[in-house]
Amino acid sequence: MTVDRSAELAGNVAVITGAASGIGQGLALGFLQAGASVVAADIKVDTATRGLAADGGLADRLHEITADVTQDEDVACSVATARDRFGRIDIMVNNAGGPSCSPSLYAAAKAAVVRMSAMAAVELAPWRIRVNTVSPEPIMVPGFADNGGSAERLIAVQPWPEAPR
Ligand SMILES: NC(=O)c1ccc[n+]([C@@H]2O[C@H](COP(=O)([O-])OP(=O)(O)OC[C@H]3O[C@@H](n4cnc5c(N)ncnc54)[C@H](O)[C@@H]3O)[C@@H](O)[C@H]2O)c1
Residue 137 is given by DSSP the state: P
Does the CB atom of residue 9 touch ligand 1 within 6 A?
no
How many domains are contained in the chain?
Answer: 2
Q: Could you identify the atom of ligand 1 that is nearest to the CA of residue 70?
A: 31
Is residue 89 domain-shared with residue 105, that is, in the same domain? no
User: Tens digit of pLDDT for each residue in 63-120?
Assistant: 999 999 999 999 999 999 999 999 999 999 999 987 777 889 988 999 999 999 999 9
Quick check: CB of 20 below 6 Å from ligand 1?
yes
CA of 23 to the centre of ligand 1 (A): 7
Percentage of the chain beyond pLDDT 90 is 67
Domain that holds residue 127: 101-134
Average pLDDT value for residue range 127-147:
86
Which residues share a beta bridge with 145?
none
Say what the pTM is: 0.91
Reported as type and span, the H/E element at residue 112 is helix 103-124
60/105 same-domain check: no
Q: Check residue 2 and give its pLDDT.
A: 80
54 and 75 belong to one structural domain = yes
Q: Is 21 in the pocket of ligand 1 (CB under 6 A)?
A: yes
49 lines ligand 1 (CB under 6 A): no
Alpha carbons 133 and 138: distance in angstroms, whole number: 16
Helix (H, G, I), strand (E, B) or coil at 38: strand
Decide whether any atom of ligand 1 lies within 6 Å of the 128 Cβ.
no
Same domain, 60 and 110: no
CATH of the domain at 87: 3.40.50.720
Asked if residue 49 and residue 90 are part of one domain, the reply reads yes
Average pLDDT, the chain: 91
